[in-house]
Amino acid sequence: MYLALTIIIILVSILLSLIVLIQNPKGGGIVSGIIGSSQVMGVKKTSDFIEKLTWGLAISLVVLCLAASFSLPSSEDRKMGSSMQEQIENSTTPTNIPAPAPAQQQPASPPPAGDGQ
């Protein structure tokens, strides 16, 4: 349930970001470019629709975040996960693993001979 709400929250957030970017407080913006010369709904009705859509997405984002906070896993579920982690950490490690072979050392190369200057 929590995972589904998280995915929906991410989608609503992306959609809200796109809708906010479409808006322009001075009346121009991308909306006026989309409508162009053939105004089907009119600029005023389009800006009203975009504003209502923005408010609706913002309110739904708040409601979804509250619902996600109530659907968090309980403390017993989280405790079970930590007890599994304790079992993994307390498990015995195998002792028959061979030790890595020591690296062979290369003989040191003599310093380069100079011209004596």
Residues 6+ apart with CB under 8 A from 63: none
Per-residue pLDDT at 89: 72
Mean pLDDT of 27-49: 59
With CA atoms as reference, report the closest residue to 17 among 76, 61, 65, 63.
61
Nearest CA-CA partner of 30 in 44, 47, 16, 11? 47
| Model pLDDT, residue 79 | 60
pLDDT of residue 28 exceeding 90, the answer is no
CB atoms within 10 A of CB 76: 7
- Asked whether residue 29 carries a pLDDT value surpassing 50, the answer given is yes
What tens digit of pLDDT does each residue of 88-104 get?
777 765 566 666 777 67
**Which amino acid makes up residue 67?**
A
Confidence at residue 80, expressed as pLDDT on a 0 to 100 scale:
60
Percentage of residues in the chain with pLDDT exceeding 90? 26
Going from N- to C-terminal start, the domains of the chain cover 1-19+42-73
